[in-house]
Structure 1
Amino acid sequence: MTTPFRFDAADSAADMLPEAKVLHLRRTLAAALFFAVVSLSCLILFRDVNSYRFFSTFRSSYPLAGFPSIFPSASTDSNATSNEYPLEKILNDAAMEDRTVILTTLNEAWAAPNSVIDLFLQSFRIGDRTSRLLNHLVIIALDQKAFARCQVIHAHCFSLVSEETDFHKEAYFMTPSYLMMMWRRIDFLRSVLEMGYNFVFTDADIMWFRDPFPRFHLDADFQIACDHFTGRFDDVENRPNGGFNFVKSNNRSIEFYKFWYSSRETYPGYHDQDVLNFIKVHPFITDIGLKMRFLDTANFGGLCEPSRDFNQVCTMHANCCFGMNSKLHDLGIMLQDWKHYLSLPPSLKKLSVLSWRVPQNCSLDSLRHHGSPEKSAQD
């Protein structure tokens, strides 16, 4: 049996050399062996570092969806629940040439897949000249899960989340959480005006079927949709709905929003829409010269008062509705009705023979049965 070479060499040296030289040779061989071990360790370490750098580069350069087991921390990345850019940049990126943006708010209850937000975005995609407006839509997330979902489905998202204002659950009408949410929204919109941006605010349970901008009043500072429209654009007896409005940024509108927000203390326990009904006739509105207009339900309808003509409708709101499931059902019917209208030849469209098949589950009978409508972050 042949022994390893190094042991033969050592034994041969021991036979041929004096004792001192043998000791010197053994020390030299030991040093050489130590150097070889250290060099090999460094080589392995260098390779591991380079491997780590490679995977780090790979991780930052490619989507992680296909590698959940390799990078389990990706789903908890802090960037998924915090703003990458300040509000000013997000608004600027989304703004039209005249500094107008479209804003909606979203919480977890409406952000789930196949929920309200998906129907909302679908209406833009199938509407008449509305798909391009998605470029100008900013979704304001009221909780972390809503923000994370927004980042998956839309380009412009802003997180309005804090420990005091995390509205992830469906907020029931007139509960403290609901009131806080509505007033938080008014204060946020005031800040957008102060930054010099005009905005269309829209609840996410409003279907956008046609470009609304040609239907807006050119001379108005503040114009708002209605649950009931009396037939006159300047009639304060109209019943406004805060879920849809177009506001121009100027000193008048800014002062109006400040007054509106401060009036929550004058009328404690009321939500923003009720307070608007109180203050719309206040002398302060005349003093600041605010031009307020009310939008016709023929163009901006809802389940309270549906738009009567498919050729004129711009938006339809799932207002006067109790419960998430009822809202989703009737919104789905709205989209089906609109698709049917789009499929008609021009000659039949002009006849205006179609009518909405809603409300169904959102019937006024259901409201009377439950006592008062249930509303969430967007109502």
Structure 2
Amino acid sequence: MIKNSEDARLERVLRAAAMANGTVILTTLNSAWAEPGSVVDVFLESFRIGDETRWLLDHLVMVSLDLTAHRRCLQIHRHCFALTTDDGFDFSGEKNFMTDGYLKMMWRRIDFLGHVLAKGYSFIFTDTDIVWFRNPLPHLHHDGDFQIACDHFTGDPDDLSNSPNGGFAYVRSTSATAAFYRYWYAARERHPGLHDQDVLNLIKRDAYVARLGVRIRFLSTDLFAGLCEHGRNLSTVCTMHANCCVGLRRKVDDLGLMLQDWRRFMATPGSDRHSVTWSVPRNCSMKKLGR
């Protein structure tokens, strides 16, 4: 939970960053991802070179999980919020997938996002290992309260069999979505050792979620892409995620290649752009991961 001493500071940051409709863009950052030349630099650069995305930086709040990350945020960005932990857990180092530190960090994120909803702010949450090439807002479903990207997309945005990826989500602030996030966070105790995405898969069909009336919709991997699954068409992609990739260096390398692919696409005459395709995954390929 957010401490009382932090709540007023959070409100100031959110109010300063919010769009006219009360929507903010949120990402979380620790020191490993905040180092110069690491993930955060590629992330911010994508907004600067994307198609009509630079203005979105005015609405981005970086939520720092340790002091080193917060200091770096203050050097490179306008809206920064330092999130402390009650138990003093250190989130500063690289947190590999499914380690104890990774799980604590993911669940801290869910708790925080639920608090943002309860304060009346809608949000787009984005992992920092996602590059933004187009404004995603026009491509969200107009009737979805909770919209989430996928590792695998079945083609039907209403199909609960889609495989959600919590790295990118849009959530409208309502009493129902705030209750949904509280329920999701509490469900970690019934499913110890699982991360937020796996628990979401377990609860998305629960009767309580249905009674809340939260409209869950899944986002196409043609628009909200990732290394797990994406279309080859750079003419449609809004965001690209370095998912299905273990290791910070591998992520940084392939994220850098994504920026190169985008620059190559933008420099190509319109009639020939269809010929430009992704050069990733390369460092993040399944073969290199030993799978």
TM-score (norm 1): 0.74
Deviation string, structure 1 residues 278-314 (Cα, Å, up to 9, x no partner): 1111111211111000000000000000232111000
Q: What residue is the counterpart of 1:131 in the other structure?
A: 54
Q: What residue is the counterpart of 2:9 in the other structure?
A: 86
Distance of 1:89 and 1:166 partners within structure 2: 25
Q: What residue is the counterpart of 1:116 in the other structure?
A: 39
Contact kept in structure 2, 1:142 and 1:165, CA below 8 Å: no
Residue 319 of structure 1 pairs with residue 243 of structure 2: yes
Secondary structure of the equivalent of 2:68? helix
Contact kept in structure 1, 2:96 and 2:247, CA below 8 Å: no
Distance of 2:233 and 2:173 partners within structure 1: 32
Distance of 1:96 and 1:231 partners within structure 2: 31
Residue 260 of structure 1 pairs with residue 184 of structure 2: yes
Moved more, 339-348 or 120-129: 339-348
Distance of 2:29 and 2:279 partners within structure 1: 27
Deviation string, structure 1 residues 146-200 (Cα, Å, up to 9, x no partner): 0000000000000002452430001121111111111100000000000000000
Name the aligned partner's letter for residue 175 of structure 1. T
How do 1:233-244 residues align onto structure 2 when only pairs under 5 Å count? 233-244=157-168
In the TM superposition, residue 368 of structure 1 has moved relative to its aligned partner by: 4.0
How do 1:197-236 residues align onto structure 2 when only pairs under 5 Å count? 197-236=121-160
In the TM superposition, residue 107 of structure 1 has moved relative to its aligned partner by: 0.2
Q: What residue is the counterpart of 2:216 in the other structure?
A: 292
Distance of 1:138 and 1:256 partners within structure 2: 23
Distance of 2:255 and 2:197 partners within structure 1: 22
Among residues 272, 275, 284, which one is paired with 1:362 in the alignment? 284
Q: What residue is the counterpart of 1:15 in the other structure?
A: none
Percent identity, aligned pairs only, is 55
In the TM superposition, residue 367 of structure 1 has moved relative to its aligned partner by: 3.4
Gaps of 5+ in 1: 1-81, 370-379
Q: What residue is the counterpart of 1:334 in the other structure?
A: 258
Query: Runs in 1 of length 4+ with deviation above 4 angstroms?
Result: none
Contact kept in structure 1, 2:70 and 2:81, CA below 8 Å: yes
In the TM superposition, residue 365 of structure 1 has moved relative to its aligned partner by: 2.0
Distance of 2:117 and 2:203 partners within structure 1: 20
Q: What residue is the counterpart of 2:115 in the other structure?
A: 191
Name the aligned partner's letter for residue 58 of structure 2. N
Contact kept in structure 2, 1:220 and 1:292, CA below 8 Å: yes
Contact kept in structure 2, 1:322 and 1:366, CA below 8 Å: no
Name the aligned partner's letter for residue 279 of structure 2. R
Larger % of helix: which?
1
In the TM superposition, residue 346 of structure 1 has moved relative to its aligned partner by: 1.9
Q: What residue is the counterpart of 2:194 in the other structure?
A: 270
Contact kept in structure 2, 1:165 and 1:181, CA below 8 Å: no
In the TM superposition, residue 348 of structure 1 has moved relative to its aligned partner by: 1.8
Distance of 1:321 and 1:192 partners within structure 2: 29
User: Which has the larger Rg?
Assistant: 1
Secondary structure of the equivalent of 1:232? coil
Residue 140 of structure 1 pairs with residue 50 of structure 2: no
Distance of 1:117 and 1:251 partners within structure 2: 32
Q: What residue is the counterpart of 1:377 in the other structure?
A: none
TM-score (norm 2): 0.95
Contact kept in structure 2, 1:320 and 1:367, CA below 8 Å: no
Distance of 1:307 and 1:335 partners within structure 2: 16
Residue 161 of structure 1 pairs with residue 84 of structure 2: yes
Distance of 1:367 and 1:241 partners within structure 2: 20
In the TM superposition, residue 231 of structure 1 has moved relative to its aligned partner by: 0.3
Distance of 2:202 and 2:118 partners within structure 1: 24
Aligned Cα root-mean-square deviation (Å): 1.5
Residue 106 of structure 1 pairs with residue 34 of structure 2: no
